[in-house]
Amino acid sequence: MSAPRIAVVGSINLDLVVRAPHLPAPGETVGGATFARYPGGKGANQALAARRLGAEVALWGCVGADAFAGEALALLRADGVNLDHCRARDDAPTGVALIAVAESSENQIVVAPGANALLAPSDVGAIEADALLCQLEVPVETNLAAAQSFHGFFAINLAPAAPVPDALIARADLVTVNEGEAACYGDALSAAKSMVAITYGAEGATLFRQGEEIARARPPKIVARDTTGAGDTFSAALTLALIEGSAPEAALTFACIAGALAATREGAQPAMPTRAEVDALLART
């Protein structure tokens, strides 16, 4: 059986990450940190996660015509994500995320979108795939145009939380949010006809349909190292499991395990697990 095809429309960043004893309070300087650079961006993260979990993946996005672009695309290219639809812009830099990670694995993130903000509806065009996966780090009108012209399973990770048109949620087959984002959207999620997955960190996730709980799952106990990218891995994994035909509870369990594994290693994209790793842990739970 051929691998499911997932199209991702979304952001591409280079993550500049410092690990510190604790996260700074306003006005505080925290010393003793270490520094690393990793490919990132919610779109790129979800594309790579889906690819490592076994999907054929194509990514639509924008980078700058600068030195950061090659680094930002390196792991996607190495893992075989189709980058034919990624544009290099000479009028904006590659997006950058400044990430501080505490020893507790909690993080703070500030994003300078750069070229991601220039991804236009005309850059997307017709998409043929089994599923389309979007997030909110590119213009919302681009997500809406892609969703309305696409005829397959449409999943959107409503993150980071931002105002969205009702039509975007109405078009979705699957919405994923974390607990804080769910509070921001409130009744809009309860009224959605789609499935809505809400994540609660170490407490797992719950899947709803029209406000009614249909599945609940908890991740395995792990030692979290860096939670950056864990939510992106969850969104990609849940989308993939559902289009593969898994029942809601099985799909949610698969996604929780994938997200948990992503939190056990440093960096967003370098930490993302393979299908074999997820299946091996799934077999032990």
Domains of the chain: 5-11+41-91+120-283 (3.40.1190.20)
> Average pLDDT in the 27-51 region?
96
pLDDT digits (tens, 9 = 90+) for 113-124: 999 999 999 999
Under DSSP, is residue 118 helix (H, G, I), strand (E, B) or coil? helix
Q: Is it the case that residue 262 has pLDDT exceeding 70?
A: yes
**Could you give the CA distance from residue 181 to residue 198 in angstroms, rounded to a whole number?**
9
Asked whether the beta carbons of 101 and 18 are under 8 A apart, the reply is: yes
Q: Is it the case that residue 1 has pLDDT exceeding 70?
A: no
Q: Is it the case that residue 201 has pLDDT exceeding 70?
A: yes
Q: What interhelical angle do 230-243 and 42-52 show, nearest 10? A: 50
Give backbone dihedrals phi and psi of 19, rounded to 5 degrees, phi first.
-105, 125
- Number of other CB atoms surrounding residue 271 within 10 Å: 22
Which residue did the predictor score with more confidence, 126 or 82?
82
> 135, 115, 122, 15: which is closest to 61 by C-alpha?
115
Q: Is it the case that residue 73 has pLDDT exceeding 80?
A: yes
Which residue did the predictor score with more confidence, 201 or 275?
275
> Average pLDDT in the 228-241 region?
96
> 218, 181, 223: which is closest to 198 by C-alpha?
181
pLDDT of residue 220: 86
pLDDT of residue 2: 86
> Average pLDDT in the 260-285 region?
92
Share of the chain above pLDDT 70, in %: 100
Mean pLDDT of the chain: 95
pLDDT of residue 196: 97
Give backbone dihedrals phi and psi of 137, rounded to 5 degrees, phi first.
-100, 10
Residue 74 vs residues 13, 117, 270: alpha-carbon distances, Å: 11, 21, 11
**Could you give the CA distance from residue 63 to residue 43 in angstroms, rounded to a whole number?**
12
pLDDT of residue 20: 95
Q: Which tokens go with 152? A: 């397959």
Which positions are catalytic? 232
